[in-house]
């Protein structure tokens, strides 16, 4: 979800707690994690050889934009990014849950490498934890461009030029280190990248490009087919019904969103935004819903893995 208003809960990170978490942390997905905790957890997983840490870039305030690679770097690649929009806390914790599950399941890396970036916008995410006032629906990074700066040329004329608007596109294309991190990663992976997922909330939907246009992509039928399999897997877990549709219809016109760029310029056929639940809580998803939401999403991830392992995508 890129533009709706909502509220936020008081889950901010206490500075004293930050000192504590320098020691080993135990993550059971019953609460949200601040940026430093996420870094700590990723480092722990790396130390245990559960994943390989990749530094994709550095934010304007100097925070590392970290990715976790699981699987052989020779295999087909699936990229999952989350945390573009700082206020959507359920997305990064879901990405971490996915990392933790994949790292325990050798079947998930059968002919697939996963590159998962839990917090693509670390400055914005950190800022959203500091004070409740800041959380007031802070979507952008700290240089006040939301990552709606990952746009491709044809959509630029529709992008938001208002500096104070949460959809502000940035000074120019690729002005933000967060979007550049994705560009370099996708360029590096090249044709080996078969799947690109962007996690958000709260529209409870699997959305495919285009966001910049109401015109469907030429291969929409293929995208809908795979999304339907994922939708069924999600529903089979706890009965939650996700919608499927083109992002410009389910959300609104979202020129410059990452899945548009990944498909148009990155040449990745299967690109989706997974909008996690749920409409009831909007951005304020209670922590006791994390495991349910993340484990449902993981059912979709397993479907994507099967399609990649069996050479269907």
Q: Residues 169, 200, 282, 305: which binds Zn ion (CB under 5 A)? A: 200
The active-site residue out of 275, 284, 296, 299 is 275
Task: Closer to Zn ion by CB, 67 or 83: give it.
Answer: 83
Task: Closer to Zn ion by CB, 108 or 116: give it.
Answer: 116
**What are the phi and psi torsion angles at 125 (to 5°)?**
-65, -45
CA-wise closest residue to 121 among 84, 173, 91: 84
Annotation says 284 is catalytic: no
Least distance between Zn ion and beta carbon 302 (Å): 23
**What are the phi and psi torsion angles at 66 (to 5°)?**
-105, 140
Task: Closer to Zn ion by CB, 189 or 297: give it.
Answer: 297
Task: Closer to Zn ion by CB, 2 or 231: give it.
Answer: 2
Residue 262, number of CB atoms within 10 A of its CB: 28
Task: Closer to Zn ion by CB, 140 or 189: give it.
Answer: 140
Buried b (16+ CB within 10 A) or exposed e, 143-162: bebbbbbbbbeebbeebbee
Judge contact between 80 and 197, C-beta under 8 A. yes
Residue 137, H or E segment: none
Least distance between Zn ion and beta carbon 203 (Å): 9
87 binds Zn ion (CB under 5 A): no
Interface with Zn ion in residues 205-244 (CB under 5 A): none
Q: Report residue 78 CA to chain centroid gap.
A: 12
Number of residues that bind Zn ion (CB under 5 A): 4
Residue 26, number of CB atoms within 10 A of its CB: 6
Q: Which residues pair with 245 in a beta bridge?
A: 207
The stretch near Zn ion (CB under 5 A) out of 77-85, 109-117, 175-183, 284-292 is 77-85
Cβ neighbours for 288, distance < 8 A, ≥ 6 positions apart? 30
Task: Read off the tokens for 186.
Answer: 């996708």
Q: Residues 63, 76, 85, 282: which binds Zn ion (CB under 5 A)? A: 85
The stretch near Zn ion (CB under 5 A) out of 60-68, 142-150, 196-204, 246-254 is 196-204
Interface with Zn ion in residues 274-313 (CB under 5 A): none
**Residues with catalytic function:** 275
Under the rule (CB under 5 A), what is the footprint of Zn ion? 1-2, 85, 200
């Amino acid at each position: 979800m890129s533009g709706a208003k909502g509220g936020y809960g008081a889950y901010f990170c206490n500075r004293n707690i930050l000192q504590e978490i320098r020691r080993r942390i135990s993550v059971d997905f019953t609460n949200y994690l601040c940026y430093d905790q996420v870094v700590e957890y990723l480092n722990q997983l790396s130390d245990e050889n559960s994943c390989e840490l990749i530094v994709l870039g550095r934010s304007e305030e100097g925070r590392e934009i970290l990715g976790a690679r699981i699987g052989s770097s020779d295999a087909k690649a699936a990229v999952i990014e989350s945390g573009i929009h700082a206020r959507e806390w359920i997305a990064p914790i879901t990405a971490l849950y996915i990392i933790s599950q994949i790292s325990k399941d050798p079947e998930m890396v059968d002919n697939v490498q996963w590159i998962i970036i839990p917090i693509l916008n670390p400055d914005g995410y950190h800022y959203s934890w500091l004070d409740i006032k800041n959380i007031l629906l802070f979507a952008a990074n700290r240089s006040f461009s939301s990552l709606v700066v990952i746009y491709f040329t044809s959509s630029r004329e529709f992008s938001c030029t208002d500096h104070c608007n949460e959809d502000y596109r940035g000074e120019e294309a690729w002005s933000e280190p967060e979007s550049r991190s994705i560009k370099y990663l996708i360029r590096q992976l090249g044709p080996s990248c078969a799947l690109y997922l962007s996690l958000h909330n709260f529209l409870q939907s699997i959305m495919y490009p285009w966001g910049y246009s109401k015109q469907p992509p030429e291969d929409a039928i293929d995208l809908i087919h795979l999304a339907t399999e994922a939708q069924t897997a999600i529903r089979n877990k706890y009965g939650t019904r996700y919608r499927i549709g083109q992002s410009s219809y389910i959300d609104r016109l979202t020129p410059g969103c990452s899945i548009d760029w990944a498909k148009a310029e990155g040449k990745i056929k299967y690109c989706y935004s997974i909008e996690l639940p749920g409409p009831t809580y909007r951005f304020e998803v209670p922590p006791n819903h994390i495991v349910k939401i993340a484990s449902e999403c993981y059912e979709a991830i397993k479907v994507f893995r099967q399609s990649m392992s069996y050479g269907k995508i």
